A and B are shown apart, each in its own frame.
Chain A
């Protein structure tokens, strides 16, 4: 299982990646949509964890761009807003995807990752 973490907060994604690696999950991280697009060309990933709100390319837009490059890729969204609204809009615009509210419970994230890999 290989994960790509995308969030404009480098501190957050780098720490998250390190904590995942402690648990045996390989995770790379980038801090923008542009970098993410370059990164998927270098390396194949199973799941992309995207922040919904990012400068220039939003999480939802990035999902579409990444899907074009790798239709197999699965997604989990992180949101700071945490309202049901996001879920409603998310499910309509992004198809099936998980939403996790920041601050993220790491165990919950791992659980979701495993769930996605299983299906």
Chain B
């Protein structure tokens, strides 16, 4: 806490009691707040605005790039899958057209075709011919399915309607995933037969799994009910349900955002595979995709924090410095104002006193003469019998007039003290003259006083009365500070071409350091109990200032105090307000 207080600028807790109703104008704390808020606002707001805009633009850019990449990848895989299925469908279609019905009814011929298909395309497991009633007429493959009737199965109806059919993936007898491709072929007699082939999906899986190895995503197929058609790294084996919403149909590749099982944000690219029950899905974890972005984001935030801190520091520093300077200037101005005000006040009082005294003196003189005349009449004219009581009354009037005259003369003398009267000063003579006033006291209290003159001090022009008062005040203070039997050394010295100094060193009790700064302040006194007003040294200070000189004090508690007055050899009028000739006569 202590260190915090020492950091506080001087104006922080300043409160000018004299500032009156315009006090708020002088609240430096308010000015400081205003300066800091305004400059901080003007500089930080655009910075924050631009940084946030940049942040969002960068985020958007990176997101849209990721989206685009996903779309491209999904489209590529879709093309491959579509091509894979179309290729096999076309092969079967080609066989139905190239081979007449009897070739297909011949199991050895059909077996040959299956063998060729296996060799050229791979993945074919069996081949069967089904007539228009749904009965399997011929079959080659690992199972005995000849004569099986498919007439009431849904896929059969679909082939009859659409001409071709690709089935969902299903697990065959050996728990191996398979899918079925069937193609209808119309015959010359108006009836038709269907060529049906079963494929294992291993190559299919390779096709899709191979595509996603390049990225951190997971690519797989599902059917329209949401069951996995190829294995997924994330969601498990074939035919398991995927815990994702089934995306709505779109002829194009689309990207949507979702949330994974663990609450991670996901980016899901999907495409419907044409003429098949498959939907291609590519699921990517958005967190991994945005890794680059995180670093950029950190850089942006770091930049913002560092800039804001720097700007704030500079603003705080500058505002504090400037307001402190204004505050100090204002302090000087106020001090000056108070001083001028004080001088003006004294000058006004002086003028008033002189005016009043002068105006009263005239009627007083008349009263005096009239009373004197009454007394004369009684004294000189025999017809007025001397009446002792009346004479007494007149004497009392004359006595009262005399008292009034004393008061007016005192007032006039007070006014005169404010005037500057320049005379030639012989410094040593003047000091000895002042010492004459306190000679008796020094004698009684056996205080030893010495006057030393070092170097020649030329006679100079200055205000005699003021110098007398200055020296008398200092000497009186020195006497008050000393016990009986002390010593006062006065040293008069030529300081330089333009000034002389008079030093008064006593052997008194000294002034504590904390008081030393305040001894010239008006009303500062340590002698309040002994009737000190605290004005002596402040008046002394003011007088020295008026003479264009300076005064300083050094003191050691218990050893004594030394006042040094520097007086310029050339007197310059400092304050026109205290000019003798402006006081009306």
Chain A residues in the interface with B (C-beta under 8 A): 9, 11-12, 15-16, 18-19, 22, 52-53, 78, 80-86, 88, 101-104, 106
Contacts and interface: CB of A to CB of B under 8 A. Distances in A.
Contacts of A104: 365, 368-369
A16 B412 contact: no
Given A19-B373, A104-B368, A9 B362 contact: yes
Given A81-B412, A82-B409, A15 B361 contact: no
Contacts of A78: 365
A86 B361 CA distance: 15
Given A53-B585, A86-B585, A103-B405, A18 B361 contact: no
B365 A80 contact: yes
Contacts of B405: 101-103
Interface in B474-506: none
B376 A80 contact: no
A15 B408 contact: no
Contacts of B421: 85, 88
What are the 9 tightest A-B residue pairs by CB atom distance, in nearest-first order?
Answer: A103-B368, A80-B361, A15-B369, A102-B365, A103-B365, A22-B376, A22-B380, A102-B361, A11-B366
A12 B413 contact: no
Interface string B87-100: 00000000000000
B509 interface: no
Given A101-B409, A103-B361, A19 B369 contact: yes
B366 A15 contact: yes
Contact of A83 (B366, B402, B416): B416
Q: Which of B362, B377, B408 has the most CB of A within 10 A?
A: B362
Q: How many residues of B sit at the interface, in one of the four size bands?
A: 20 to 34
B358 interface: yes
B271 to A, nearest CB: 116
Q: Please report whether the interface of chain B is mostly helix, strand, loop or mixed according to DSSP.
A: helix
Interface in B39-66: none
Contacts of B413: 83
A106 B370 contact: no
A22 B379 CA distance: 9
Contacts of A52: 585
Given A9-B365, A19-B376, A53-B585, A81 B370 contact: no
Interface in B221-260: none
B354 interface: yes
Given A84-B416, A101-B409, A12 B372 contact: no
A101 B368 CA distance: 13
Given A84-B416, A102-B405, 13 more contacts: A11-B369, A15-B370, A15-B372, A15-B373, A16-B369, A22-B376, A81-B412, A83-B416, A85-B416, A85-B421, A86-B585, A103-B361, A104-B365
A12 B362 contact: yes
B352 interface: no
Nearest to A14: B369
Interface in B404-456: 405, 408-409, 412-413, 415-416, 419, 421
B580 interface: yes
